[in-house]
Amino acid sequence: MSEERTKEDVIEIIKANLKENLHDVDIEEITPESSMRDYGANSLDIIEVVSATMRQLEIRVPRSELSQVENIDQLADKFMEYL
Amino acid sequence: MKPDDILKFSLADFTYNDSDEVLSPPEDFETWIEDPRVQMAMSFFEQPLEEAPTPRTTIERGISGESRDMINLTSYNYLGLSTHPEVVEAAVEAVEEYGVGASGAAMLSGTFDQHIRFAEEIAEFKGRDDCMLYPSGYAGNLGAIQALLQRGDVLVIDDKCHRSVVDGAQLAGARLASFRHNDPESLDAMLQRYEDKRRLVVVEGVYSMDGDLADLPSLLEVCEHHEVPVYIDEAHSSLVFGEHGKGVAEHFGVSDRIGVDFGTLSKAFGGIGGFVCADEDIIRYMKCYASPFQFSCALPPPIVAAMRKSLEVATRDSSLRDKLWDNVEQFRTNLEALNLDLGESESQVIPIIVGSSGQQLMELALAAQQRGLYLQPIDFPAVEAHGRRFRISVSAQLTEEDIDEACNIIEDTIAKPLNSG
């Protein structure tokens, strides 16, 4: 199942989870080149978005490997390594 | 979890419990924490001190269970007041007069004459209208922020602020927004983003993992432009910074531009507790709505009596602060000669940044502690994964010999391996 995911699928899941946590952001305005912080996400929001996305993708990526990820596109790339 | 992957994971990875049973930890957390390599790292936590938290103390080693005399660079007893003879005497006398505990919440039966006098003395020391006391520093930030904010408000914090500040926003139901550390442009953007909301900005005087200071002149300018009040956490800077020890706001000459001045009694004061200073009307309001104030037992009277004496001793002259700063200078000079990465520290908190390898950090910590240096490793997620470190808390009680011996151990067990790698 997870092997069929494309990077675009992963980005869409991240965007949906970001929308779920921030409420006041429009999913259409989220671009992969942006950081979640650009949309007002705080550290707790980011933990939740990352956790929820990993659960949906059925992967476990060590948080330490995500600490230098700068935007949604890079986060999706990191998740793709584990799919 | 594969054995090869164990060391890639950290405490940051198990906050979500996927077990069906609430009383069962996550299965992979159990696998991870029982691994001998993780057990070695965990053995640094909760090593019991068997004597006072002075520069020379005895510690039961977590790795071996042996009792060991060590040089202590980890306790934040910055001025040595925890064991100052006058402070200890004040505590002993108060135990005999009042007993051990307050036996009540502050609003009902837990306020003693000692609490009233001390709150007045702290307010006077900080140059504020009024002050309220909390049973811990954590409770102080939690309670003050909870009482000040509500759902719909936004707490805007420096992204290196303490967890108690984050939790305060959670308890208040306020939106939490962070700006890049000490970055006025990032702060400006965040205040702009939430311009239609009630906002409060929180910064710390000294940042506890880096030892650098809030850039108050630049940040205050932004806050004043947006007409947003500033709350400063002077946990690590009260009694340490400023001509009179009032903190980093005094150091920068901006005390009158600060809305709320928070401090702890567990750092330089040498005891436990928190205090919040502000205008009289908002303190009166906070007392009615801060749950950690209302629903906790008040500070024990002997602790309050001791903290009154700590304040008196630390402010009767500058001798303790002068000694602390002499020690900081000696430490920095010695450490800089060892070619170590000390970050941006400007205070008595001096990090030694090791880098991204958690395993190397733990190996260096083990070597240092086996040589008798109690210097604790600070691992991800407490700090960034690429900035794992040691954190030195300099104390005024350290002698020149203590500092030289400590630096010799640091040279042999930390600097040489880092510089050769």
Look at chain B and report how many structural domains it folds into. 2
Q: What ipTM was reported for this prediction?
A: 0.86
B310 and B353 inside one domain:
no
Q: Is A1's pLDDT higher than 70? A: no
Q: List, for residues B256-290, the tens digit of each pLDDT value.
A: 999 999 999 999 999 999 999 999 999 999 999 99
Q: pLDDT tens digits for B291-306? A: 999 999 999 999 999 9
Of B299, B316, B333, the one marking the end of a domain is B316
pLDDT (mean) for A36-42: 87
pLDDT digits (tens, 9 = 90+) for B138-168: 999 999 999 999 999 999 999 999 999 999 9
Q: Are strands B230-233 and B260-264 parallel, antiparallel or unpaired?
A: parallel
Residue B63 lies in a domain: yes
Contacts of A33 (CB under 8 A, 6+ apart): A71, A72, A73
Query: For residue B50, is it within any domain?
Result: yes
Give the domain-ending residue among B316, B340, B375. B316
Q: How confident is the model at residue A40 (pLDDT cuts 50, 70, 90)?
A: confident
Residues B333 and B247 in one domain: no
Distance of alpha carbon B414 from alpha carbon B373, whole angstroms: 11
Task: Decide if A44 touches B, using CB distance below 8 A.
Answer: yes
Q: Which domain holds residue A12?
A: 2-82
Band of the pLDDT at B60, cuts 50, 70, 90?
very high
B163 Cβ under 8 Å from any chain A Cβ = no
CB contact under 8 A, B380 and A42: no
Q: Is A58 at the interface with chain B, CB within 8 A? A: no
H/E element holding B232?
strand B230-233
Residue in A closest to B192 by C-alpha: A40
The alpha carbon of residue B97 and the mean position of all alpha carbons in its chain are separated, in whole angstroms, by: 31
Which residues of chain A lie closer than 8 angstroms to B177, CB-CB?
A: 40, 42
DSSP state of B174: P
Per-residue confidence (pLDDT) for residue A22, from 0 to 100? 86
B30 falls within a domain:
no
Q: Do residues B255 and B332 share a domain?
A: no
Residue of A nearest to B18 (CA): A55
Mean pLDDT value across residues B385-404: 97
Q: Is the pLDDT of residue B49 over 70?
A: yes
- Indicate which CATH number applies to the domain containing B201: 3.40.640.10
pLDDT at B256: 97
User: Model confidence at A27, in pLDDT bands (50, 70, 90)?
Assistant: confident
Residue A3 predicted with pLDDT over 60: no
The percentage of residues in chain A with a pLDDT greater than 70, rounded to a whole number, is 96
Judged by a CB distance cut-off of 8 A, whether residue A68 touches chain B is yes
B285 and B327 both lie in a single domain: no
**Alpha helices (H) along chain A:** 7-22, 43-57, 72-82
Q: What is this structure's pTM? A: 0.94
| Residue B17 maps to a domain | no
Q: Let me know if residue B269 belongs to a domain.
A: yes
Picking from B5, B28, B177, the nearest residue to A42 by CB comes out as B177
Examine the domain organization and report whether B142 and B64 are in the same domain: no
- Residues B193, B203: Cα–Cα separation, whole Å: 19
pLDDT given for residue A38 in this prediction: 86
Partners of residue B197 in chain A, C-beta under 8 Å: none
Mean pLDDT of A55-81: 94
Higher-confidence position of B187 and A29: B187
The Cα B371–Cα B367 span in angstroms is 6
A60 to chain B: which residues are within 8 Å by CB?
A: 1, 13, 28
User: Does the beta carbon of B45 lie under 8 angstroms from any beta carbon of chain A?
Assistant: no
CB A40 to CB B358 under 8 A? no
Domain count, chain A: 1
Query: In this structure, are B182 and B220 located in the same domain?
Result: yes
Question: Which residues of chain B have a CB within 8 Å of the CB of A67?
Answer: 380, 384-386
Q: Does B225 touch chain A (CB under 8 A)?
A: no
A37/B contact by beta carbon, under 8 A = yes
CATH number (domain holding residue A56): 1.10.1200.10
Percent of chain B topping pLDDT 70: 100
Q: Residues B323, B268: one domain?
A: no
Q: Tell whether B310 and B331 lie within a shared domain.
A: no
Does the residue B98 lie in any domain? Answer: yes
Kindly state whether residues B236 and B332 are assigned to the same domain: no
Q: Is pLDDT of B106 > 60?
A: yes
pLDDT band at A44 (very low <50, low <70, confident <90, very high): confident
Q: Domain residues for B239?
A: 83-316
- Check CB contact under 8 Å for A62 and B13: yes
Measured between CB atoms, does B217 come within 8 Å of chain A?
Answer: no
Q: Is A62's Cβ below 8 Å from some Cβ in B?
A: yes
